[in-house]
Amino acid sequence: MNTILQKFIWSLPVTLLAGAQVYAQEQRPNLVYIFPDQYRLHALSLWSDPAYRDVLNTVGDPVHTPNLDRLAKQSVVFNRACSTCPLSSPHRAMLMTGAFPEKNGVPGNCHKDNRNGIPDSLICFTDVLADAGYETAYVGKTHWHRTEPLFDKENNYVGTSEAPGGHYVYPYDTYIPEGRGRKSNKYWFQQLKDNHFNATAYSNRPELVGGQKDGEAYHYRRFTTGVEADVAIEFLRNRKGQRDASKPFSLFLSVNPPHTPYHKLTDCKEEVFNQYYKDLKTEEVLLRPNVQVGEGTQVKSKERLTFEAKIYFSLIKSVDDEIGRVLKVLDEEGLTDNTILVFAADHGEMMGSHGRMAKSVIYDESFSIPFFIRYPEKLKPGVNDLMLGATDIMPTLLGMMNLENKLPETVKGKNYSQGILTGKYGKVKKPVSQFFYQQKEKGVRTDRYSYLVTKDGGYQLFDNLKDPYQMTPLQMEDIPAKQAKLLKKELGNWLKVSEDSWARDRKYPDRVIY
């Protein structure tokens, strides 16, 4: 090294040299991961745009999502992303661990009547980020922790089931105290209960919960997604030292709407309902030809379903409004270019298709999810048909953040980052199928077929190209023998990779090739 240059560097203050290291660290991308609950793929007005009208082979919903449409046009849109398990807790556990349900402790929804919950021993997505020096934040719904009666009558956490403890906040979810359960998320704001205007809030930031201490319940009594957007914006703006501005950050924003309830006008913003949906007729709301009502279905009548769909779509519009506020702040704060932003969902919503409501089934309305990745510095906007599954999200995003070397051995998902970034899927090929998991039913979806083995050893089979609304069940003999064998073999492979009990027991060998 040039002697004069060497002396100059040695003469620099230590703080300046440290600043150079910080600057290098700052160039690592931030991560913002936004995922509403029960938001189905079809609920985007994007699909009525001529440039995207043919991306799906079914009709989109009559929704108004200008902010998400704009985001999609700045992003890679994954039109074949799958929930893997279209149920809240299992999907979230797979997102956080990269492991499958029978190995991550969450084979079904966390509930007071079971012991489901991510074990503290597993290294999770945000643990890796924190270890890599990220400022970590989690805002909204978690639903990955074991539900226990550790609260008093006022929903304050006391940490014991003995009096004054012995009470649950909510049967399906629980407050997570400081410790391993938070998965190294430093900035913590949690809301519980399926009530869009009266959730129970907890935070380790007293200013976010009316001065309450961590574990003491607080109620905003206003639209929950608006509250969570406010909290996320506070973190992003960083006016009060919410994060160390010299470090990269991660922010997970998990909002409850448009999840149920969507049964009463008071479940949504009435002004949104009145402006967009009040006067629409049934045929303007229920656009999918596979909607069924009446005897033998979960839907009482078309009139009732029309009303509930209007509430659901109103919630979609309100969620879009709040996400728009977050996106605007990212722009205003100069954070957009160096931030990987993901919009996704944990699962979809049937809304009367096949006579069903909610989720948990292999039909596309339930199983398919929206998934966008915006990364202005590295990704060109477009559409990608990669069948991304829940366990792939953690390794793929960490790969995009150059943290693949920190992946825990327990991760079973694939890292598709290089293929997404370069368009060349060399080392890690695109999958032929994606796995569908429920505790008593398993299946696969390929680019053409959906194949499900039911709990009694029967099966369902659909040709999604010829029958995009999955209205005509097929027999194996109806498709080429090569394709039938592929479906059985792919299901067997997924059961082995996921270390599922079906593979151990070699269940239904006439339906699965192990």
Based on the fold, state whether residues 401 and 447 are members of the same structural domain: no
Based on the fold, state whether residues 372 and 487 are members of the same structural domain: no
Burial group, residue 382, by CB count within 10 angstroms (0-12, 13-18, 19+): exposed
Based on the fold, state whether residues 116 and 264 are members of the same structural domain: yes
Based on the fold, state whether residues 52 and 192 are members of the same structural domain: yes
Based on the fold, state whether residues 205 and 158 are members of the same structural domain: yes
In a domain, 428, yes or no: no
In a domain, 13, yes or no: no
Tokens of 165: 């403890």
Based on the fold, state whether residues 350 and 400 are members of the same structural domain: yes
- The 10s digit of each residue's pLDDT in 9-46 is 344 343 333 333 343 444 799 999 999 999 999 999 99
Number of structural domains the chain divides into:
2
Percent of the chain at pLDDT exceeding 70: 95
329 φ, ψ (degrees, to nearest 5): -65, -40
SS (H, E, C) 355-403: CCCCCCCCCHHHHECCCEEECCCCCCCEEECCCCCHHHHHHHHHHHCCC
Domain boundary at 419, 445, 462, which? 419
pLDDT grade for 377, boundaries at 50, 70 and 90: confident
Angular region, 84: left φ>0, alpha ψ -120 to 50, beta rest: left
Based on the fold, state whether residues 380 and 486 are members of the same structural domain: no
Based on the fold, state whether residues 413 and 448 are members of the same structural domain: no
Strand order in the sheet with 449-453: 433-437, 442-446, 449-453, 459-463
pLDDT attached to residue 14? 38
First to last CA, the chain: 61
Residue 501's domain spans which residues? 436-505
pLDDT attached to residue 27? 78
In a domain, 228, yes or no: yes
Q: What is the CA radius of gyration of the chain?
A: 23
Based on the fold, state whether residues 312 and 457 are members of the same structural domain: no
In a domain, 382, yes or no: yes
- The 10s digit of each residue's pLDDT in 240-258 is 999 999 999 999 999 999 9
In a domain, 225, yes or no: yes
pLDDT grade for 313, boundaries at 50, 70 and 90: very high
Query: Rounded to whole angstroms, how far apart are CA atoms 146 and 282?
Result: 41
In a domain, 208, yes or no: yes
- The 10s digit of each residue's pLDDT in 84-108 is 999 999 999 999 999 999 999 999 9
Across 116-234, the runs of DSSP E, i.e. the strands, are: 135-140, 187-192, 200-203
Based on the fold, state whether residues 501 and 394 are members of the same structural domain: no
- The 10s digit of each residue's pLDDT in 411-452 is 999 999 999 999 999 999 999 999 999 999 999 999 999 999
Based on the fold, state whether residues 156 and 109 are members of the same structural domain: yes
In a domain, 365, yes or no: yes
Based on the fold, state whether residues 368 and 457 are members of the same structural domain: no
- The CATH number of residue 85's host domain is 3.40.720.10
Domain boundary at 389, 419, 449, which? 419
pLDDT attached to residue 215? 98
| Average pLDDT rounded to a whole number, residues 56-69 | 98
Domain boundary at 392, 419, 446, which? 419
- The CATH number of residue 483's host domain is 3.30.1120.10
In a domain, 16, yes or no: no
Q: Which of 83, 93, 98, 140 shows the shortest CA–CA distance to 117?
A: 93
Q: Which of 207, 195, 137, 200 shows the shortest CA–CA distance to 174?
A: 200
246-257 burial by CB neighbour count: b if 16+ within 10 A, else e? ebbbbbbbbbbb
Q: In 10 A of CB 18, how many CB atoms? A: 11
